[in-house]
Amino acid sequence: MGARETPQKSKSTAAADEAFLRALGERVRDARARRGMTRKILAHDSGVSERYLAQLESGQGNASALLLLRVAAALNMSVTEFLQQGAEQPVELALIWQFLQRLPAQKLPLVRSQLLRDYGTAHIERMKRIALIGLRGAGKSTLGSRLAKELEIPFIELDREVEREAGTSLSEIFLLYGQAGYRRYERRCLENVVKNNERAIIATGGSIVSEPGTYDLLLSTCRTVWLKAQPEEHMARVVAQGDTRPMTGNREAMEDLHRILRGRNALYGRADVTIDTAHKSIEQSLQQLRKAVAA
């Protein structure tokens, strides 16, 4: 009987391993998409070859712990997040998480708003700062600067603050310090902007929503507005500006853009207000933004 059971157990183990590797590969692809990273950029930041990353993302990577650690670090994720397992959580946090999982999805924004009111920055203070989120090409800089001029309040582009803090360009920051280094500067600059500006309109980087701590800080200190557009419009507007980062040299740019949006839609959806700029002129979108701010 034992001899007959052994092959069955081996097949079951192999199937479980294959399922784990497929899920891990999908997790890597999704995490890379949310951060707007090409496979080449991830290879550079992690020191892991593009060939290995391709195998990993296809579910064929029999990864060692050290390689996984390096990939996770380059994505600015903890290994716990990466593998969805790790140290025990406080009992209260586990109970809260179970409670939230039982709630209907449509009630979660109400719960978040209540938590922000009770435990975050005071509601009236938060409303004085407007943070614009969304992919490049949504109109954050154009609309934000015009509205700030009308309201006679500062307009702040967070990426420019990062460059000022680092004393170099974004491309050099990524080259020298990688994605994780950029995230550290981004968090520090956001803290400084909030501390030093009671009122402002802030244009954020498109991937800020993929960093939980930084995004939570933004949500708790600013009224957030998601400027939304169709993928094709995002791409056309960015190309018209002469800037195709991070799509340069990527033959599957549009597919990557669709994946980025799929990976971030739920995160962008946590914003207080959503404004769809698709098929709208700058003036039409600006009018919508005026109404959202005045509401």
CB 200 within 8 A of CB 156: yes
**Look-up: residue for tokens 């404004």?**
275
The better pLDDT of the pair 243, 167 is held by 167
Instruction: Give residue-wise pLDDT tens across range 28-44.
Output: 888 888 888 888 888 88
CA angle 75, 163, 170 (to 5 degrees): 45
Instruction: Give residue-wise pLDDT tens across range 173-216.
Output: 988 988 889 999 999 999 999 999 999 999 999 889 988 889 98
Q: What's the mean pLDDT in 41-64?
A: 84
What does pTM read for this prediction? Answer: 0.65
On the question of a common fold for 13-83 and 120-294, the answer reads no
CA distance linking residue 227 with residue 93, whole number of Å: 32
CA distance linking residue 185 with residue 215, whole number of Å: 14
Superfamily of domain 120-294: P-loop containing nucleotide triphosphate hydrolases (3.40.50.300)
Residue 241: its pLDDT value, please? 61
User: What is the rounded average pLDDT for all residues in the chain?
Assistant: 81
φ and ψ of 152, to 5 deg: 60, 45
CA distance linking residue 180 with residue 75, whole number of Å: 7
Domain boundaries along the sequence of the chain: 13-83, 120-294
Burial 180-219 (b: 16+ CB within 10 A, else e): ebbbbbbbebbeebbeebeebbbbbbbbbbbbeebbebbb
CB 276 within 8 A of CB 139: no
CATH topology of domain 13-83: 434 Repressor (Amino-terminal Domain) (1.10.260)
Residue 66: its pLDDT value, please? 59
223-228 sheet: strands from edge to edge: 155-157, 200-203, 129-133, 223-228, 273-276
Cα 294 from chain centroid?
Answer: 27
Residue 251: its pLDDT value, please? 56
Residue 293: its pLDDT value, please? 84
The better pLDDT of the pair 256, 187 is held by 187
Instruction: Give residue-wise pLDDT tens across range 85-133.
Output: 444 456 677 678 778 888 888 888 778 767 765 666 556 788 889 999 9
